[in-house]
Structure formats: C-alpha cells, structure tokens
Chain A
C-alpha cells in the first residue's frame, strides 16, 4: 500500500465545508502547521476544530488567519484562551467567542483525550470522575447558551461520575517526526501528545511527516501509530515554533 500524497494541498483537497477536523498539539508542540496552512489556502468554511490543549494558541498566526477569513464555526478544547485577560481582549478568536460568532466548547483535558480514545475504540460514551462538583458536571460548557445541554451522572460504587460522549471527527491532521509509505508513524518526545489518539478517532487521518521513509525502514518496535489508522501521508518541512503562548 502506498498512502503518500505529493502536497498538503492535494492531501486536504476533498475536505468539505462544515467538516469536523481534529487538531492535535499541546500549545506549540506537535501541531500540524503545514496542514493548517493548506486549510487557510483552501478557504474551507464552517469548520469545527476539535483540539485537546491549545494548539491554536501555539499556531497563533494560522488561527488569526482562519478567524479573519471566517472559516471557523466552532472550537472544542480544554485550553483555548490566552492566560492574560488583557491579551485575550485583543485576540480576534476571543473577540469572536465573546460576540457569539464562534462557539467555544470546553472540557477537562483528560476528558478530551478519552472522547477521542472512545471514538477510535468503538465506545460511544464513558463515565468519568473528572469535573464532578464543577459546572462541567451540570452542563456542556459553551459560550452559546442555547447549546448548554445538561449532563447525566451516575453513582457507581458510592462515587459520582459524569457521562461524556465519544468525539468522532471527520478528519484528523497529525504531525509526526517519521512516517513510512504505509502510514506507520513515530513522534518526537512530547510532540506525541494528542497526535496518536486523534489518528485513531477520525474517519480520515492525514499525516504530515518531517521524514518520509520507505516500507521497512521504520522498525516495527518503534511505531507509535500503526498504519491502519492513517489514510494519507505527506512530507513537510520541519515547522518552526517560538515556544510561548503569551
């Protein structure tokens, strides 16, 4: 099998308006920057960007462009806002959230991780203790009041748990250090973060890789994401990030 596509633009060419796309990365680390840039060039609208921990703060330039082009309908994340309230007030994304033009739905980070894991593993929902006693237990936490649906809870062995649902994106963009032609992937250090689990969750996973190798060159013991989860592989230059979200 050969899953290699020659350019990021070609790799995302079929993404329709309204798609739900998983964006991994933990702030500036492990973000699929080249695929995000292709998405800006393509101009796809009404997107839902399903994140985990602030990749759009890490790829701030790309996020500003996506917001400016009015491509984003909704963001799902655990940490999507600038820490500084002053900086947040000047941020076009936060301004759009305040105006209700973009929806921001938030969950605890471990719940985000498990929502993708469940989707990839064929589990429709799960009970978690995380968030019990907070507003996360009472309702879906979103800036759009009409979408604040109540959550179910259940006592199991004397402890309270919240029912949370799997999140199955249409596409996942992932960033790997090495990929082979069949889509086996290996990540670098803490850049792994949400990449693997998002690859398992999406209907179509597109991997941008810094190093493309031939089949057999990536040792089976070194594979972090088995190729079965990866549908398209595209070689990119190593992105450059200033390590800050302030």
Chain B
C-alpha cells in the first residue's frame, strides 16, 4: 500500500489529545506533535512535568522572556508559572519511574495492535545506536501512555503495523493512539477504532492501517 488520506493538521492532533487529558493530572510531553499540546492547555488544571527537572512548565518564552537557564526537554526556551519548581535529574526520573506521572504523550515511528511501539531509532539511519532520551523511562513509569503521530509515513506507508520492523521502545505499554485520521484504543482484544477524522469512514481508516481494526459500535467523528 502507498496511500495518503487527508486528515487533521499536527496542531489539531495535539488539540484532540489535549481534550483527552483530565484536569488535576501531571503530564509529560515528548518531542514532536506532543510538544504542541502545551498550546491547548493554557488555563487548564494540568501540570506539565519536563524531564530536564521542572514541574509546571509554562508556555514557550519569547523576546525578553528567553532565559538560557530555563528550557524544556525539547530544547525550547520556556517560561515559569506561579508554583513552578525545579529539581535535579535523579529526582525527575524518580518521579517518572516511580509512577507519579499520570500520562505521558509520545511520538512514534511504528506501533502495533498489542501496544508495542518504536520511536528511539530509525534503522534507515544505519546505526545500531540512537537517541533514547527519557522515552523508555516514561514507558516504564507513567500510569498511562498515549501516542500522538501521523497515521502513515510521508510516503503513505503503514506506521500502524502487524509487526514492528523498527527497534521497540516499549512492549505492550500504549493505551491510546491519536493520529491525523483516527482515535484508537489499544485493548487486550486489539485496536478499537473510536473516532474518525471529519469526512472519513472507518473503511478509509482501515485502508491505511495494517492490523485489522475492531470498529466500536459507537464510532463517531472526532470531537475537536
């Protein structure tokens, strides 16, 4: 297959994830689409943890606000909010590994219907080593793991696959998948299609998804 359907922008995928996050939770956002989620939660009762060592990370800094001693884990200058705090890396990963973060949202290169995903190394680069960063710790310790990504590659190849061909970041850890085309729950039975992007049918989504989707009886258009 090599097919590309028109769906949500990256910003709107981020909005759909933001709508899923509950007030009163501590959330960690990975590099890529997940970082865009912070634009949609201003004013919400959600506290962002940044693995560099900060709780209550504020919006991106601009102009005079930029301080080289205040960045997020994606190397962007950020601001502090009332009640923000800083800590060292051991404390930061104790928080992550120790089960104190409610939700981690990560990007992915591939995911399968058992909730395994790959994101730390692209074999096309031809290196056995890669950038793991905090991804595997977040998978090991966050209470819920969401993936936010484009449904297919730029060339229209499957990213939602039967079998990972890229090196795994974690096995059986993903709870929910948000793409430009769909919202999918990962359940013990497999992938349950809950929502489709405006203008698409479940059959459209299946046509760009390698594993067989279980169509939820109340499948609906994405709420944005």
**A residues at B contact (CB < 8 Å):** 26-30, 52-53, 58, 78-81, 83, 85, 88, 94, 97-98, 104-111, 113-114, 116-117, 128-136, 141-143, 145, 177, 188-197, 224, 240-241, 243-245
**Which size bracket describes the interface of B in this complex?**
35 or more
Query: Could you say which of B51, B96, B131, B172 contacts A81, with CB atoms under 8 Å apart?
Result: B131
Nearest-Cβ distance from residue A224 to partner chain B, whole angstroms: 7
- Answer whether residue B198 sits at the interface, using C-beta atoms and an 8 A cutoff: no
The residue on B at minimum CB distance from A190 is B52
The residue on B at minimum CB distance from A116 is B90
Query: Could you say which of A28, A94, A109, A111 contacts B75, with CB atoms under 8 Å apart?
Result: A28
- Cα(A97)–Cα(B126), bound, Å: 11
Query: Could you say which of B69, B73, B122, B129 contacts A141, with CB atoms under 8 Å apart?
Result: B129
- Cα(A197)–Cα(B90), bound, Å: 7
Binds A, one of B133-141, B144-152, B188-196: B133-141
17 sampled A-B residue pairs with Cβ under 8 A:
A26-B52, A26-B71, A53-B89, A78-B134, A85-B124, A85-B125, A113-B92, A114-B90, A129-B140, A131-B132, A132-B171, A134-B170, A188-B69, A192-B86, A193-B88, A197-B88, A243-B68
The residue on A at minimum CB distance from B95 is A110
The residue on A at minimum CB distance from B31 is A83
- Cα(A60)–Cα(B181), bound, Å: 38
Q: Mark B114-135, 1 if CB is under 8 A from A, else 0.
A: 0010001010111111111111
Q: Find out whether the CB atom of B140 lies under 8 angstroms from the CB atom of A29.
A: no
* Chain B, interface SS category: loop
A106-B129 contact given A85-B122, A133-B168, A134-B170, CB 8 Å threshold: yes
Q: Find out whether the CB atom of B90 lies under 8 angstroms from the CB atom of A245.
A: no
- Answer whether residue B205 sits at the interface, using C-beta atoms and an 8 A cutoff: no
Q: Find out whether the CB atom of A190 lies under 8 angstroms from the CB atom of B129.
A: no
A141-B128 contact given A110-B93, A113-B90, A133-B170, CB 8 Å threshold: yes
The residue on A at minimum CB distance from B121 is A135
